Amino acid sequence: MKKMLFLFLSLLVLPGSLPADTAGRPIRDRVGFCWEKQQMTRMIRLLESIRPLKSPVPADSRIIGGICPHDDYLYAGHLYLPLFGALRAREVLVFGVTHRPVRQKFPQARNRLILDTFSHWQGLDGRPVHVSRLREFLRERLKPENFWVSNPAHAREHSIEALIPFLDHFLDDYRLTPIMVGPMDPSHLEAVSTALARVIGSYLEKHQLVLGRDLVFLISADANHYGPDFDNAPYGVDRAAHQTGTRRDRELIQSHLTGPLTESGIDTLCQALWPSRGGKNFLWCGMYSIPLGIRTIQKLVASKGVRDPIQGRLIAYDDTYSAGVLPLRDPGFGITAPFSLSHWVGFFSLTFQVQKEALSPR
């Protein structure tokens, strides 16, 4: 009788509570992002009518990565569009943010990458998004002190899933490698990025893949979170404060993330963003995912014998107060936070590019 009862109850278990090695990763945010294919098509058409889709990459260059927001589509969709419309790859590695509530819940994330063991992630209309074999390659070859495996941490975080509906729309078939980035000390950032670049380089060689053609990196990040709700309002909460805050965001992006990307430039960016290094007045949720992602890409490109620096190219910057909400009111689209002079978030999209011939197979 007990065995029969156990069997009956086991059939009632929800998919999200299945063992980690058989369950798909559950969707975290069903309000700010779009999970139905038909609705996503309508979203793309609206975005294209507002900003016609043009490639953000010169003809002689190849996109090897980029930075993308993870804010609500009704706020930031126009910044997702040009980046994802230019991607051409079979594999996508996403560096996700570990937001404060997740960091507080899981202090083990400090100085580590966070991997998962979900059998798949969910895409448009519930389509399974297959995980790349690179994930297991990393687990087998990275040192234990450099990463931590946690499905609960991934299930609580929305920064990676935000990119999936756009990937689903623009890429017919791709494999995902989801990596959350915990808060990093400088020495750990260098050690982890060095190890990660080495292992990814080995993976590319083993499977004869070309960076930018077969694999691209995306860094999920929003810029400044401004207002008393964020405990971050050094300039006040009027129009002048908003102008000052967004101008400083733009200056930081222009100075450190556009043009040739250098090690010293990324180090200076960390000084501006990291509280542990004296950073203030900037509350970027990508303060760790951006430097870790860029340093990994830099080291990987250098290992391929490419001497020219990676070029950062800004697509656009905007913020929730300036942009407002896109005029799409059908069921299925929503916003998860208000916007005002006392509560706004900045975001931007940007590509990382190299000359095409630099990474061509020899």
Taking residues 306-319, report their average pLDDT.
93
pLDDT at residue 287, rounded to an integer: 97
Model confidence at 22, in pLDDT bands (50, 70, 90)? low
Model confidence at 308, in pLDDT bands (50, 70, 90)? confident
Q: How far is residue 267 CA from its own chain's centroid?
A: 20
Given a contact cutoff of 8 angstroms between Cβ atoms, the answer to whether 346 and 222 are in contact is yes
Category of 278 on φ-ψ map: left (φ > 0), alpha (ψ -120 to 50) or beta? left
Domain residue ranges in the chain: 28-224+252-270+285-359
pLDDT at residue 12, rounded to an integer: 32
Inter-CA distances, 108 with 10, 115, 354, Å: 31, 12, 35
Closest CA to 340 of 230, 257, 211: 230
Given a contact cutoff of 8 angstroms between Cβ atoms, the answer to whether 160 and 217 are in contact is no
Contacts of 105 (CB under 8 A, 6+ apart): 153, 156
Model confidence, pTM: 0.92
The answer on pLDDT for 4 being more than 90 is no
Model confidence at 58, in pLDDT bands (50, 70, 90)? confident
242-299: pLDDT as tens digits: 999 999 999 999 999 999 999 999 999 999 999 888 888 899 999 999 999 999 999 9
Instruction: Identify which has the larger pLDDT, 12 or 97.
Output: 97
Given a contact cutoff of 8 angstroms between Cβ atoms, the answer to whether 28 and 155 are in contact is yes
Beta strands in 98-187 (DSSP E): 113-115, 120-122, 128-130, 147-149, 175-181
pLDDT at residue 361, rounded to an integer: 59
pLDDT at residue 18, rounded to an integer: 35
Q: Between 3.30.70.3270, 3.20.20.70, 3.40.830.10, 3.10.20.30, what CATH number should domain 28-224+252-270+285-359 receive?
A: 3.40.830.10
Given a contact cutoff of 8 angstroms between Cβ atoms, the answer to whether 336 and 29 are in contact is yes
Given a contact cutoff of 8 angstroms between Cβ atoms, the answer to whether 65 and 219 are in contact is yes
Cα–Cα distance, 60 to 88 (Å, whole number):
15
Closest CA to 311 of 60, 77, 51: 60
Model confidence at 14, in pLDDT bands (50, 70, 90)? very low
Model confidence at 15, in pLDDT bands (50, 70, 90)? very low
206-231: pLDDT as tens digits: 999 999 999 999 999 999 999 999 99
The answer on pLDDT for 10 being more than 90 is no
Cα–Cα distance, 255 to 261 (Å, whole number):
10
Mean pLDDT for all residues in the chain: 90
Taking residues 35-41, report their average pLDDT.
94
Cα–Cα distance, 284 to 223 (Å, whole number):
4
Handedness of CA 148, 149, 152, 158 (dihedral sign): positive
Element (H, E) at 66: strand 61-68
Taking residues 37-41, report their average pLDDT.
94
pLDDT at residue 3, rounded to an integer: 33
Model confidence at 353, in pLDDT bands (50, 70, 90)? very high
The answer on pLDDT for 183 being more than 70 is yes
Cα–Cα distance, 178 to 138 (Å, whole number):
11
Classify residue 267 by burial, with Cβ atoms within 10 Å: 0-12, 13-18, 19+.
middle
pLDDT at residue 241, rounded to an integer: 98
pLDDT at residue 331, rounded to an integer: 63
The answer on pLDDT for 9 being more than 70 is no
pLDDT at residue 355, rounded to an integer: 85
Given a contact cutoff of 8 angstroms between Cβ atoms, the answer to whether 252 and 272 are in contact is yes
Residues comprising the chain, all counted:
362
The tokens of 67 are what?
């930075």
Least confident window among 145-159, 254-268, 322-336: 322-336
The answer on pLDDT for 13 being more than 60 is no
Instruction: Identify which has the larger pLDDT, 224 or 12.
Output: 224
